[in-house]
Amino acid sequence: MDWKSKRVRSIIEAALIEDKAAYDITTALTVDRKLRATGTIVAKQPCVVSGLGAIPAIPEVFGALSEKAGNPPIGRFEVIHHPEIFDGVRVKKGQPIAVIRANAATLLSTERVILNLLQRMSGIATLTSEFVKAVDGTRCQVLDTRKTIPGLRSLDKYAVCCGGGHNHRLDLADGILIKNNHVALGGGLSKALANALKFRKPKQTVQVEVRSQDELAEAIAGGAESILLDNMTPAAAKKAVKQIRAALPGVPIEASGNMSLETVRAYAEAGVDFVSVGALTHSATAVDLSMRITADK
């Protein structure tokens, strides 16, 4: 995925427009436009950092603001963080994450957008790291899903990677996954699978979601190239893995549904290659960060 794509810039531009960062009335009336200041972003709880590296939220915010015609000039700015602080690293409560030296008014006007981005991304990275730790020692990898906040998918999926997870499909054009509704509307599992295999483009893998023993048998008989075990118990998943390994050696096996920190280990130990966890992006709690701003002398 191209983390520095126009998609990322458009997300940040939308956030600045939403907050009307270029029209900060309070700052305009109270702060000298020539004043310089330093903003220090501090972790108020232990967390895994996301938003400093491949998607550098702070300079992206400043860059997006400065590129818009009619916005007040932001002047020079500098973002500093210790070499030991980078995306994917765990920090302690009270630990500084980054220091921004910039125009004071610009810092005040962009503070909330910067913190919102870093807090959400770091929250996703932190939760992902907990799931990765829960399956440590198994062959299983943790995947995200498309259950992301509308408009924020690129940032959400990048944050998953910062936490040690991996990305499933970015969007509907990014892979073939036959789910229960495709089966219902496509004439049954066997027919839907046969059509997908016949008409797909070269190098496209056809994955099939199965929810029962009968569907699993159809998927195996139809030559599915990847199988997703949906909402099965760990015991049922273990049985399914044995069947798939015997009939289709090497076919990737994924489990989804009912994934929590309490249950994910059991699915991993059932022998699946992947667990997909919607909670990574739809239920992650933003971490608590603050920005301390002081005037430069």
- For the record, the structure tokens of 4 come out as 């520095």
Catalytic residue from among 209, 225, 254, 273: 209
Per DSSP, 133 falls in state H
Helices (H), 19-103: 25-30, 57-67
Catalytic residue among 111, 230, 254, 273: 230
Among 179, 211, 238, 239, the active-site one is 179
User: Does the annotation count 67 as an active-site position?
Assistant: no
How many angstroms separate the CA atoms of 254 and 277, rounded? 11
Alpha carbons within 13 angstroms on the beta-carbon side of residue 174 total 9
Of 133, 147, 211, 238, which is the active-site residue?
147
Task: For residues 114 and 116, give the distance between their C-alpha atoms in angstroms, rounded to a whole number.
Answer: 6
* Residue of 112, 169, 238, 239 marked catalytic: 112
Active site residue 78: no
191 is catalytic: no
Give yes or no: 174 in active site: no
Alpha-helix runs per DSSP H in the chain: 6-18, 25-30, 57-67, 104-134, 153-162, 180-185, 189-199, 213-221, 234-247, 264-269, 279-282
Residue bearing tokens 């430069």: 296
Local structure of 219: helix, strand or coil = helix
Q: Is 171 a catalytic residue?
A: no
**Which residues does the annotation mark as catalytic?**
112, 147, 179, 209, 230
